[in-house]
Structure 1
Amino acid sequence: MRTRWILALVMGLLLTACSSDDGSSDGRITLRFQSLAWQEESVDANKELVEEWNALHPDVKVEYVQGSWDSVHDQLLTSFEGGEAPDIIHDASDDLADFAYGGYLAELGELLPERLKSDIPQRSWETATFGDGIYGVPFLQEPRVLIANAKWLKESGVRIPTPEKPWTWEEFRSIVKELSGEGKYGVAWPLKEPVSATLNLSLSTGGQMFHRGEDGKVTVRFDAADEVVPRTVHDEVNTDGSASSTTLGMGGSDTLPGFFGGKYAMVPLGFSYRQQIVQQAPKGFDWQVLPAPAGADGLTQGVSPQTLSVAEDSPHKKEAAEFIDFLLRPENMVRLALGDWMLPTGTEALKDPALHTTKDDWATGTALAAQLRSAPAQSVRGYPEWKDKVATPAFQEYYSGAIDLDELRKRLVEDGNLVLARYQR
């Protein structure tokens, strides 16, 4: 009798465990949505949209889970391997390659509605395409722009660039030099993490860095088009003295006190940094957003959009995709973009008047959206190791003047190809 009672208890517990894996005992489904939103406005927008979904879908509850950009890659890898990954995953497209190729993410081609697939341009979908599949929905992006001291530029009399008539890289270097002197600098380059900034801006000059052969293998080249941006930075720091050498090891936020204090005329930053500037700038400080310099390919620039993916192990992929579709309706995508001070990828969302205002220079950033392309390293296997072990120290030494352009090329190409070759056997 006691044996039968124990067996019944065990079976009951097993049934309970099974039902909790596939939803609640009353048939309701629970989806876990891990968000990396961190700014107050962005967190609020995400949580509000989750609440709205839950109110409209009583049988499919979404549970908001707070993640962190600082640890997301390792945290996701651990959760994938442990079978505890969230159903819906917020990440960035340049972090998806290993997860997509590793079989941890669901292929979304058949799960997403035509409305969403047609609303986001193909150039954006390419950022989350690996092999023949789509493994994330790109929804927020930001160009790198020049944040400028408007009063300083106006008093100098230099030509103010616009998206229609930007500076060339040569003109930019000349103007930066003109704005410098008496302990002040025309530009401060925050290049603590120099690789993505360099590669993404180099698309404007036709730089590619990574080249895929007919055999599908990727190799590194450092051609004339790849040299323009790094040489400009190097020469501003080491030849012209028009860029501060001390900011090379800084993150973007670290340069803002000096910018507000009148030490730098301009700082190249991501578009979303405007929020920090609005919050931190001294009263009366006059600033403006300028497009980054243009090269042979105009204002083309590489980006790694924020993405939403579905875990391959999720038992509710269809419902997870439906939630993503809800979250990225045009009006909701605008709310997320405003909360993060970034640009939406959706063409309908980009038409919203709130993204075309002169206040906080939204219009300048929105005008650049059509020029944004997939970052050069987006689908390169082994890129994280190449970046950390080869490219980052090489660019840092070159920008500081410790090595010359030939040595930079040698390291990026010879050492870099040795790294990539291990991932392509």
Structure 2
Amino acid sequence: MTSAVLVGFCAISTSALAKTDLTLWSEGAGNPGEIKVLKEVVKDFNASQEKWNINLVAFPQDSYNDSVAAAALAEDLPDILTVDGPVMPNWAWSGYLQPLPIDPSLVKDFLPGVKGYWGGKLYSIGLWDAAVSMVTRKSTLTKAGIRIPTLEKPWTKDEFESVLQKLKATGKYEYPLDLGMAWKNEWYPYAFSPFLQSFGGDLIDRSNYQVADGVLNGEDAIAFGKWWQGLFSKGYVPGTSQDPADRDTGLIDGKYAMQWNGNWAALGVLKEFGSDTLFLPAPDFGHGPIIGAASWQMAVSSKSKYPEGAADFIKFAMQDVYLAAFSDATGFIPPTKSAADLTGNYNEGGLMAGFYDLAAAQGRVRPVTPGYVVEAKVFLKALSDLANGADVVDTLDNAADEIDADIKKNRGYGHK
């Protein structure tokens, strides 16, 4: 009897000590710095408590969304998953996610772009943000007699046109500006729809998210379309056939005078140009200077049986020390000022501190609607067609019609 009691006691003790396994899916397999820090966070969290054990599975970013969709179809989603900020409303609407069970006051000091809200509820939170700037050299602008813009006084539309003309007239560059046309997919709506918004247009009417007609093809949008097309017809920027290698090294190699690029590419430019590097704000085309906001975020799947455990891990990862570590490893923007102060690049006086200010002052999230995934593809095609000489009015009319048809097909995507 004593042996039986002892065996039973051991079984109970072992059961009491066993942790519950939770699975975390990440899109960051192709980013060594991101995954290294994420593995450290997982290791520290698992060691910090006795209830939960996180198992990390990393996917290549290009195949990640398809993997999540397949898992959702098979009802085999992980407990925790990363989601691209603008895609989150679609996943929430599709039933992939559940509201994030954390107190919203915990994210009150986070940059607006990293907070993923849908239907008035917080569904995801980003451990970093991204921002785009006009990257160039101070010496480039000074030699051409060009004013260096500031957040308080960015270039106007007419001034920006003059800048491109002056840089082209130097004869030193293949193109005055590199927009990154070699990067397809999400780059186009992320990097270029803010230009449309600064003109006064948008992908969709954000007052109700039910119609693109009149917004994507209205007078302001047509003015944007003509300006956009003019960048190519005037020889200011490379076209849609740009060599990806030129996108990566063209600014450093001297092929381009300026480059519209993100903070993730800043470290390489700083290494080459040092204190001569400038990260400039977006031009103001009439309705304020705007850049895209929101990057990859963490969320809890609708299939998780342990949302409190998933939330505990996400809250653990939200500590400033980890936010700073992600930034130092990847170059991304820390989502809080207190985390930025812990970094080597975004602290006060840091070489990349201006990106934090850009994100805070100019960042605007892409349309918060499940239909964004369609809008993004339609916009990409429209901009490509315009760059290649398509009629501006017809192209934007067709794009608006396609988006409106998709919204109707999906019964308004749940907007009320």
Q: Distance in 2 between matches of 1:155 and 1:311?
A: 54
2:347 match: 356
Among 145, 161, 185, the alignment partner of 2:149 is: 161
Aligned residue runs from structure 1 range 223-234, under 5 A = 223-227=218-222, 229-234=224-229
Distance verdict in 2 for CA 1:158–1:336, change over 3 Å: same
2:334 match: 344
User: Does residue 200 of structure 1 match 2:185?
Assistant: no
User: Does residue 118 of structure 1 match 2:108?
Assistant: yes
CA drift at 1:325: 0.6
1:385 match: 374
Q: Distance in 2 between matches of 1:83 and 1:121?
A: 33
What TM-score results when the alignment is normalised by the length of structure 1? 0.82
Residue 266 of structure 1 aligns to a residue whose secondary structure is strand
CA drift at 1:92: 0.9
CA drift at 1:396: 0.7
User: Does residue 35 of structure 1 match 2:29?
Assistant: no
User: Does residue 421 of structure 1 match 2:394?
Assistant: no
Tell me which moved more, 292-301 or 402-411: 292-301
CA drift at 1:314: 0.9
Q: Distance in 2 between matches of 1:285 and 1:392?
A: 35
Letter in 1 for 2:25: Q
Asked if the contact 1:139–1:346 (Cα under 8 Å) also holds between the matched residues in 2, the reply is no
User: Does residue 319 of structure 1 match 2:312?
Assistant: no
Q: Distance in 2 between matches of 1:213 and 1:159?
A: 37
CA drift at 1:207: 2.9
CA drift at 1:185: 1.9
2:71 match: 79
Gaps of 5+ in 1: 1-22
2:129 match: 141
Q: Distance in 2 between matches of 1:421 and 1:343?
A: 37
2:210 match: 217
User: Does residue 170 of structure 1 match 2:163?
Assistant: no
Aligned residue runs from structure 1 range 239-388, under 5 A = 240-245=234-239, 248-250=240-242, 254-277=246-269, 281=272, 286-352=276-342, 354=344, 355-356=346-347, 361-381=351-371, 383-388=372-377
Asked if the contact 1:203–1:302 (Cα under 8 Å) also holds between the matched residues in 2, the reply is no
Distance verdict in 2 for CA 1:185–1:374, change over 3 Å: closer
CA drift at 1:367: 1.4
Q: Distance in 2 between matches of 1:423 and 1:377?
A: 16
Residue 339 of structure 2 aligns to a residue whose secondary structure is helix
Asked if the contact 1:147–1:287 (Cα under 8 Å) also holds between the matched residues in 2, the reply is yes
Q: Distance in 2 between matches of 1:294 and 1:338?
A: 31
2:11 match: none
Gaps of 5+ in 2: 1-13
Q: Distance in 2 between matches of 1:88 and 1:358?
A: 36
Distance verdict in 2 for CA 1:357–1:41, change over 3 Å: farther
Residue 299 of structure 2 aligns to a residue whose secondary structure is strand
Among 378, 386, 394, the alignment partner of 2:382 is: 394
Q: Distance in 1 between matches of 2:198 and 2:259?
A: 18
Distance verdict in 2 for CA 1:25–1:232, change over 3 Å: farther
Q: Distance in 1 between matches of 2:74 and 2:268?
A: 37
Asked if the contact 2:127–2:334 (Cα under 8 Å) also holds between the matched residues in 1, the reply is yes
Letter in 2 for 1:416: I
Residue 146 of structure 1 aligns to a residue whose secondary structure is strand
CA displacement 1:36-79 (0-9 Å, x = unmatched) = 23333222221112211122123322122112211111100111
User: Does residue 406 of structure 1 match 2:371?
Assistant: no
What TM-score results when the alignment is normalised by the length of structure 2? 0.84
Root-mean-square deviation (CA, aligned residues, Å) is: 2.8
Letter in 1 for 2:108: S
Distance verdict in 2 for CA 1:59–1:285, change over 3 Å: same
Tell me which moved more, 25-34 or 313-322: 25-34
Residue 165 of structure 2 aligns to a residue whose secondary structure is helix
CA drift at 1:90: 1.3
Letter in 2 for 1:161: P
Asked if the contact 1:219–1:420 (Cα under 8 Å) also holds between the matched residues in 2, the reply is no
CA drift at 1:148: 1.0
Distance verdict in 2 for CA 1:417–1:264, change over 3 Å: same
CA displacement 1:220-245 (0-9 Å, x = unmatched) = 4233433455433321221x322233
The sequence identity of aligned pairs, in percent, is 21
Q: Distance in 2 between matches of 1:210 and 1:251?
A: 31
Asked if the contact 2:128–2:332 (Cα under 8 Å) also holds between the matched residues in 1, the reply is yes
CA drift at 1:407: 2.0
Q: Distance in 2 between matches of 1:253 and 1:226?
A: 31
Letter in 2 for 1:234: Q
Q: Distance in 1 between matches of 2:179 and 2:247?
A: 8
Q: Distance in 1 between matches of 2:50 and 2:229?
A: 58
Distance verdict in 2 for CA 1:260–1:301, change over 3 Å: closer
Letter in 2 for 1:186: P
Q: Distance in 2 between matches of 1:24 and 1:373?
A: 49
Q: Distance in 2 between matches of 1:44 and 1:266?
A: 32
